[in-house]
Amino acid sequence: MSAYDPNNIFAKILRGEIPCFKVYEDDKTLAFLDIMPRATGHTLVIPKAPARNILDIEAEDLAAVIRTARKIAVAAKAAFGADGITLNQYSEPAGGQEVFHLHVHVIPRHDGVPMKPAASIREDMGVLKANADKLAAALAG
């Protein structure tokens, strides 16, 4: 497995070098919207600590990511009227990973609605901003 690359795009988001549609942050994790959502409200949860994927993350950092993913799931169900939630996590190219800073996908789902293909359609920035605000409000409430 390759070493962690501090120049990956999520590391740049963590350092504030590129923007994101943030929905939640605590001392160990950051959550922001996926810009090519597989469903409305598709959120990524990442650890602040450097970790490439499931194969090198410290257990406490992974626990923090899962705690945040649960918060996002509960809030997203309310914010988007979801019937269910899909969690995805990909590790290494063979596992489908494209960005090499660990992330958990939290994807709100509706009965009978299939997910769009991964990383297929870049969402409108105004739609992402509105969805981020809606989710952040549900998290705050």
Q: How far is the CB of 101 from ligand AMP (least distance, A)?
A: 9
Task: Give the largest Cα separation in the chain, rounded.
Answer: 41
Instruction: Name the residue among 45, 42, 121 with its Cα closest to residue 82.
Output: 42
Q: What are phi and psi of 62, to 5 degrees?
A: -65, -40
Please list the active-site residues. 103
- State how far the alpha carbon of 77 is from the alpha carbons of 31, 46, 90, in Å: 16, 20, 23
Q: How far is the CB of 23 from ligand AMP (least distance, A)?
A: 11
Nearer to ligand AMP, 114 or 141 (CB): 114
Nearer to ligand AMP, 118 or 127 (CB): 118
Residues that bind ligand AMP (CB under 6 A): 9, 20, 34-36, 44, 90, 96-99, 103, 118-119
Nearer to ligand AMP, 103 or 109 (CB): 103
